[in-house]
């Protein structure tokens, strides 16, 4: 927290934090009055909600599905295949995406041409950026994210399922009335934590996937901070710190609000 005051000063490295001029909220006002502010905020919020809506339910569905697989070898194979992409680095992942979606030699466009459709410049169309970003992330992380839900499902009392089977309940009924209530506390906690990181989309992947053609939707807070505050001709640590502090403040508000809503609804909460 000591370094956070840089956001309220005109920081000069050779003067130090305390020796730099105090400018109050001027760095924040500069960001709010920037002509790119609303576009950057919209891109960040839209991508965050899209990522949360698409990425949150799939680990739960995968865990529920694997929980009812009786063939152990097949279950282990599915787990290995779904876990493996998580360990691919961001740089390699973006390289795979670029190669797969290449307009000339990419496998996706090769398949489109094979069925008589025109090739699509996926990375050159801003409308496709969010979907490519989100669904590649779902593919990469769904297997690893479902580990927690599998552990929660393993802790459910087997006698509940035995009684349900005796009563003639189908697998879908057992999922709905036994499994989902059993993992609901864990799901709520993870949802609260995910909402608390909504604006922390990640710099690396967004920056690596950016190009001049998709910049209108790919420019988010993290990439803007790097370009304007650190990669420009004049390095401005105070401006970058102010934007980062603003982002973290919004994340904190979202975390507190969602945690309170969960508590009001009688669900698990962080505090």
Tokens representing residue 109 in the block: 């466009």
Exposed, middle or buried: residue 105 (CB in 10 Å: 0-12, 13-18, 19+)? exposed
Higher-confidence residue of 14 and 59: namely 59
Annotate 200-214 with DSSP letters as a single string. ---HHHHHHH--TTT
Q: Which residues contact 86 (CB under 8 A, 6 or more apart)?
A: 140, 141, 143, 144
pLDDT tier at 236, thresholds 50, 70, 90: confident
Which pLDDT tens digit goes with each residue over 194-229? 998 888 887 899 999 999 999 999 999 999 988 887
Distance CA 88, CA 12 (A): 39
According to DSSP, residue 252 is labeled H
Please give the Cα distance from 33 to 38 (Å, whole number).
9
Does pTM surpass 0.75?
A: yes
DSSP element (H, E) containing 27: helix 26-32
pLDDT at 250: 92
Over residues 114-140, mean pLDDT: 92
Is residue 232 over pLDDT 80? no
As a whole-number percent, the residues of the chain with pLDDT over 90 amount to 52
Whether the pLDDT of residue 60 is over 90: the answer is yes
Exposed, middle or buried, 45 (CB in 10 Å: 0-12/13-18/19+)?
middle
Res 229: pLDDT: 75
pLDDT for res 52: 92
Residue pair 43/224 in contact (Cβ under 8 Å)? The answer is no
The alpha carbon dihedral of 67, 56, 249, 228 has a sign of positive
Pairing of strands 9-10, 21-22: antiparallel
Average pLDDT on 26-48 reads 92
SS3 content of the chain, % helix, strand, coil (to 5): 75, 0, 25
Asked whether the beta carbons of 145 and 59 are under 8 A apart, the reply is yes
Give 230's pLDDT tier (boundaries 50, 70, 90): confident
For the chain, state the CA radius of gyration: 23
pLDDT for 169-197, tens place per residue? 888 899 999 999 999 989 999 999 899 88
The Cα–Cα gap between 197 and 52 comes to 10
Please list the residues that pair with 21 across neighbouring strands.
Answer: 10
Structural domains of the chain, with CATH:
2-264 (1.10.3720.10)
- The answer to whether the beta carbons of residues 267 and 188 sit under 8 Å apart is yes
Angle at which helix 57-67 crosses helix 126-154, to 10 degrees, equals 40
What pLDDT does 200 receive? 84
pLDDT band at 15 (very low <50, low <70, confident <90, very high): confident
């Amino acid at each position: 927290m000591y370094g956070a005051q840089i956001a309220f000063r005109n920081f000069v490295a050779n003067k130090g934090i305390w020796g730099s001029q105090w400018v109050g909220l001027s760095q924040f006002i500069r960001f709010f009055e920037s002509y790119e502010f609303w576009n950057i905020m919209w891109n960040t919020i839209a991508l965050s909600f899209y990522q949360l809506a698409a990425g949150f339910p799939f680990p739960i569905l995968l865990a529920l599905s694997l929980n009812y697989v009786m063939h152990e070898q097949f279950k282990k194979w599915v787990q290995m295949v779904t876990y493996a992409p998580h360990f691919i680095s961001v740089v390699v992942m973006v390289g795979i995406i670029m190669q797969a979606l290449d307009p000339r030699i990419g496998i996706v466009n090769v398949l489109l041409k094979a069925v008589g459709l025109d090739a699509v410049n996926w990375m050159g169309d801003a409308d496709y950026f969010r979907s490519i970003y989100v669904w590649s992330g779902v593919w990469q992380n769904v297997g690893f994210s479902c580990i927690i839900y599998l552990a929660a499902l393993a802790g459910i009392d087997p006698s509940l399922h035995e009684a349900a089977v005796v009563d003639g309940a189908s697998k879908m009924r057992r999922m709905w009335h036994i499994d989902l209530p059993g993992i609901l506390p864990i799901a709520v906690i993870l949802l609260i934590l995910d909402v608390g990181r909504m604006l922390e989309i990640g710099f690396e992947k967004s920056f690596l996937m950016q190009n001049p053609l998709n910049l209108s939707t790919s420019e988010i807070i993290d990439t803007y901070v790097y370009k304007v505050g650190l990669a420009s001709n004049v390095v401005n640590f105070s401006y970058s710190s102010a934007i980062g502090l603003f982002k973290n403040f919004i994340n904190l508000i979202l975390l507190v609000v969602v945690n309170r809503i969960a508590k009001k609804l009688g669900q698990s909460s962080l505090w």
